Copies of this chain bind each other. A is one copy, B any other.
Amino acid sequence: MRDVAVLGVGQTKFGELWDRSFREIGIEAGLQALVDAKLASENLGGLFLGNMASGGLLEQEHIAPLILDYAGLAGRHLPAVRIEGGGASGGLALHQGFLAVASGLYDYVVVGGAEKLTDVPDSTASQIVSSTADHEWEVVFGATLPSLWALVARRHMHLYGTTREQLAHVAVQAHEMGSKNPNAHFRNRVTVEQVLGAAPVAEPLGVFDCAPLSDGAAAVVLGPLEGARRHTDTPIQIRASEVACDTMALHHRRDVTANDATVAAARAAFSRARRSPKDVGVAEVHDGYSISALLAVEDLGFSEKGRAGPDFASGQFALGGRVSVNPSGGLKAQGRPFGAVGVAQVVELVRQLRGDAKERQAPATDLALAHDLGGTGATAVVHLLARAG
């Protein structure tokens, strides 16, 4: 299996991009990544595109060739494949791009993620979001994605004494980082009091416990590690790319306060890279809801089970803490354009590992982790990244 490196990154602003179309943002991110990788488009081998909702929201399936087409590349007749796995679509697309290069069948590929969620009424978009839970056994009975995560939060509070205040710290930290990120959907700081006083969405989760619906796109160029220095001074190697799944419905889980898919994907990734959670200096984890961030840091091995609340509240996951978690602002503040999230996480980590993250720069580290999640955790994707030696 060939070693694979990230050679270039690109990303649009995340937010309510009412003046920009799906195809436009998809192309912008991809072209940025190609330029960053100094890759002439004639050397491009294919596109792997993560997207969740274009069929339901834009009445447009079959979007991977569409993006290539509007990038002016249709005449090259390249392969283009769309991957969907709910909120994990971007991470899964990266996994597929990784396999493509690792196999040797492809040399240079763009992995993109793009989503346009704000061109329709929020109720329509929310319905699509909930279609990542089990339709027949959860959604038809009235469960929505936030309400399912609210059940997880209640259970975590019951078992481990996690408090609303601790959950609020996740949002406070996310907005703090968003304020330093020019691409972020939200750039305002918030206080614990504001988070606690916000309108409830599904108790105990309020508005600030839930990531927004965003438009946005992100892209990376992958290629063989060998020869990567022709494209960049700082090739970032993908040390592991692992996917794991779990039951679709929350009520079938062994323990709703643990995402076993995350545990399995992380274990496989650390084993493959011969590293441990202690080696990770910076991480982008799935914080679609404040409670999701707590589960993530526990299941990835950054906190003991049940300790994530106090650990977040005491700043252990702030910039420069034990692990710098979500320097981008995460889904909460940078935004949540579903299919783009998993790719944007890697864009941020590449910037961190290159030392290019400016105000958001975490202390130097040789291992970064990206964690993408679908639904209430039926799909988890973990990538480990490191500067090539």
Contacts and interface: CB of A to CB of B under 8 A. Distances in A.
Nearest to A267: B77
B102 A65 contact: no
Contacts of A249: 69
A245 B68 contact: yes
Contact of A245 (B65, B131, B263): B65
A34 interface: no
A81 B77 contact: no
Interface majority SS (helix, strand, loop, mixed), chain A = mixed
Contacts of A55: 53, 55-56, 84, 128, 131
A82 B81 contact: no
A384 B95 CA distance: 25
Contacts of A53: 55, 61
A301 to B, nearest CB: 16
A68 B358 CA distance: 43
A374 interface: yes
Interface string A109-141: 000000000000000000110011111100100
Q: Which of A58, A78, A248 has the most CB of B within 10 A?
A: A248
A280 B265 CA distance: 42
A39 interface: no
Contacts of A69: 245-249, 252, 378
Contacts of A245: 64-65, 68-69, 74, 77-80
Given A1-B105, A62-B132, A244 B78 contact: yes
A307 to B, nearest CB: 23
Nearest to A57: B55
A353 interface: no
Contacts of A95: 79, 81
Contact of A85 (B62, B99, B127, B131): B62
Nearest to A2: B103
A214 interface: no
A100 interface: yes
A313 to B, nearest CB: 30
Nearest to A263: B77
Contacts of A244: 77-79
A84 B61 contact: yes
A85 B64 CA distance: 7
A70 B217 CA distance: 33
B105 A60 contact: no
A116 to B, nearest CB: 12
A274 B8 CA distance: 34
Contacts of A135: 58-60
B131 A61 contact: yes
B86 A61 contact: yes
Q: Which of A23, A53, A56 has the most CB of B within 10 A?
A: A56
A228 interface: no
A31 to B, nearest CB: 17
A342 B224 CA distance: 30
A374 B264 CA distance: 35
Contacts of A139: 59
Contact of A74 (B62, B64, B247): B247
A104 interface: yes
A46 interface: yes
A55 B139 CA distance: 13
Given A55-B53, A99-B103, A62 B84 contact: yes
A241 to B, nearest CB: 8
Given A21-B136, A55-B84, A65-B245, 10 more contacts: A52-B61, A59-B131, A61-B132, A65-B247, A65-B379, A66-B248, A79-B245, A81-B96, A102-B104, A105-B241
